[in-house]
Amino acid sequence: MSSNELRKKFLEFFKKREHAIVPSSSLMPDDPSVLLTTAGMQQFKKYYTGEADALQDFKSKNTASVQKCFRTSDIDEVGDDTHLTFFEMLGNFSFGGYFKEESIRFAHDFLVNNLNLKIDYVSVFKGTKGVPADTESEKIWKKVDPSIEVRKFGREDNFWGPTGSEGPCGPTTEIYINGTEIWNIVFNQYYSHPDGKLDPLKTPGVDTGMGLERLSMVTRNVKNIFETDLFRPLLNALPEEISERNRRIIADHLRGIAFLLADGFRPSNKEAGYVLRRLIRRVLVYGERYNIPPHVFEALLHDVVHEYGKFYKELMSTSDVIHTEFALEREKFSRTLARGLKELSKESKIDSEKAFRLYETFGLPYEIIKEFAGERGRILTRDGFDEEFRKHQERSRAGLEKKFGGHGLLLDTGELKAKDEAELKKVTRLHTATHLLQAALRKVLGEEVKQMGSDITAERTRFDFSFPRKLTPDEIEKIEQLVNEAISKQLKISMEEMKFEDAQKSGALHFFKQKYPPRVKVYTMGSKEEEFSKEICGGPHVLNTDEVGKFVILKEEAVAGGVRRIRAAVL
């Protein structure tokens, strides 16, 4: 079955079951606070909250759509078997029409009876502090098919909703086929308030999402999404000497480029325009590297427009714009690229430092430099280049070198601020205390606690973290006590430098919002056998926890939906 047939079959299935079929909304969201459309439910938010009436707008409380989505979070991962920037999401939605029983039955019926697929297993929400387990969904699955295995997971996997803002949210049930998560069914039964409090929604709703690429993969029984008809023809149209990985990147990006341009985005230096520019430039860099003539990309864009245009008419009507804008950006970039390559040609020897300068000034990526430098770049290595990158990050992180410059501060890492030696000592103790605090929070409240921000001055540490509700006095006391115990145990603090990937593998905590250099420092508190805390961090820290002194929590409060803030001091 072709992907185009899958789209139609999905919509027909739900049309027969009294759903209004709604066209995909634009990738440019109505809501100016979001950069791009990332899920099918986005255009329906106001129907969940009751601000708008679905019956009035769609003549039905239930809708279904095939939605264009774009997620920037995976951009660097594209090229492996699973990640994409642009993708399509099949979804059915209900705003007080039906709930868990029907949703689960619909999904099962569509996959098993209509598409003849076999479900490996499903997952349901096992509950966490303050939010009950979704036992209803478990029971329904058992009723629908007693042979299906039901696995139970926590908030990270089986709960969907806004983090850091308010809106509808709730437990999910997910369906797995051939080891892949195929369908995410969200039961919006709560409303998350800015302080993280969850209230039951007046009218519970259903929001489901199934990636078309994955569905196509399992119905065709192929190894990965790139073997489907959504991608294979595009990959095959690229020269053979380009590696599979790079062909995937080019194909993914060209799809994204066509759809973004069709929805009115233009390359620029900010926000979504920058995302688009990045996609185009990356494709062009590959073009330069493999000597791909411009008409190859033109032809691929043409294929995307015509293949996807059967379903997404806007691609057809904006076809000229797509080609023109792509060509304009190519013109602009080729000048920078040419300047960079000219600079490169002047150098008789290119080491990591020079390569990094070319990267910084002209945006020439490592691969291009290595390729074009040829013999002159014999000593240039990826590791060396990454090391330069790391040094650069350290310099620009304003760190210790900022002595008495700028704000008259001795230390300003963004997180830590100190104006003289005495303050430096104090913030260093508070910094170590902050690591102990994060570890203690996770021990008491659970691993869902994630750092959302921190700020340390000589007076106090201020630590923001994700957690859905107010802490109880008991929990606060316990956390404070755990930190003070770690202090009195006189734990040694050690630092090790390693590759960022190795640090991640070692389980070192890191701040997800931050982009890390290829090599990072990992600070461990406690012996290997008894690690109390382990984090990726630029330092500085004290050498032994007993230097921290006595730790006291001053205040616990909300800063945003699902985000709490603790202020603490050391005596």
- Residues that bind ligand SER in the complex, under the rule CB under 6 A: 39-41, 91, 160, 184, 186, 207-209
Residue among 96, 369, 66 nearest 213 (CA): 66
Which structure tokens are listed for 448?
A: 């869902």
Tokens 């951009």 appear where? 75
Whether the CB-CB separation of 436 and 548 falls below 8 Å is answered with yes
Measured from the CB atom, the residue of 38 and 413 that comes closer to ligand SER is 38
* Closest distance to ligand SER from the beta carbon of 107 (Å): 12
CB of residue 184 to ligand SER, shortest distance in Å? 4
CB atoms under 10 Å from CB of 210, counted, come to 24
DSSP annotation of 471 reads P
HSE of 505 in the Cβ direction (CA atoms, 13 Å)?
5
Count Cβ atoms below 10 Å from residue 514 Cβ, excluding itself. 9
Q: Which is nearer to ligand SER, 160 or 297 (CB)?
A: 160
Q: Is 38 or 319 the residue whose CB approaches ligand SER more closely? A: 38
CB nearer ligand SER, residue 208 or residue 352: 208
Q: What's the closest the beta carbon of residue 154 comes to ligand SER, in angstroms?
A: 16
**How many whole angstroms separate alpha carbon 143 and alpha carbon 11?**
26
* Shorter beta-carbon distance to ligand SER: residue 158 or 438: 158
Minimum CB–partner distance for residue 115 and ligand SER (Å): 19
Using the structure block, give the residue that is written with the tokens 């797509």: 322
As measured in angstroms, the least distance from the Cβ of 161 to ligand SER is 9
Q: Which is closer to ligand SER, CB of 210 or CB of 449?
A: 210
Looking at the Cβ atoms of 169 and 433, the one nearer to ligand SER is 169
Q: Are the C-beta atoms of residues 257 and 276 closer than 8 Å to each other?
A: yes
CB of 267 to ligand SER, least distance (A): 27
Peptide bond just before 23 cis, omega within 30 deg: no
Supply the minimum distance, in Å, between the C-beta of residue 160 and ligand SER: 5
Nearest to 522 by CA among 508, 543, 501: 508
Nearer to ligand SER (CB atom), residue 169 or residue 503: 169
| φ and ψ at residue 208, rounded to 5 degrees | -120, 155
- Cβ pair 362, 333 in contact under 8 A: no
Rounded CA separation 267/287 (Å) = 18
Q: Which residue is nearest to ligand SER (CB)?
A: 209
Rounded to the nearest whole angstrom, what is the least distance from the CB of residue 394 to ligand SER in the complex? 37
| CB nearer to ligand SER: pick between 39 and 75 | 39
Nearer to ligand SER, 63 or 184 (CB): 184
Query: How far is the CA of 571 from the CAs of 95, 298, 551, in angstroms?
Result: 54, 66, 7
Least distance in angstroms from the C-beta of 536 to ligand SER = 28
Q: How far apart are CA 269 and CA 273, in angstroms?
A: 6
Q: Over the range 288-317, which residues count as b (16 or more CB within 10 Å of their CB) and which as e?
A: bbbebeeeebeebbbbbbebbbeebebbee
**Cβ distance 231 to 247 under 8 Å?**
no
Assigned token pair, 566: 């603790």
In the complex with ligand SER, which residue's Cβ is closer, 175 or 300? 175
Residue type, 396: S
- Count other C-beta atoms under 10 Å from residue 197's C-beta: 17
Those residues with Cβ within 8 angstroms of residue 388's Cβ, 6 or more apart along the chain or in another chain? 352, 353, 355, 356
DSSP secondary structure letters along 541-557: --SBGGGS--EEEEEEE
- In the complex with ligand SER, the residue whose CB is nearer, 209 or 561, is 209
Comparison of 173 and 432: residue with beta carbon closer to ligand SER? 173
Closest approach, Cβ 33 to ligand SER, in A, equals: 17
| End-to-end CA separation in angstroms for the chain | 69
Residues 26 and 5: their CA atoms lie apart, in Å, by 22
Nearest to ligand SER of 167, 384 (CB atom): 167
Output the smallest distance, CB 274 to ligand SER, in A.
23
Q: CB-based burial of residue 200 (10 Å sphere; 0-12 exposed, 13-18 middle, 19+ buried)?
A: exposed
Q: What is the rounded CA–CA span in Å between residue 254 and residue 272? A: 15
Report the nearest approach of ligand SER to the CB of residue 459 (Å).
Answer: 42
Query: What's the closest the beta carbon of residue 287 comes to ligand SER, in angstroms?
Result: 33
Asked whether 56 and 50 are in contact (CB, 8 A), the reply is no
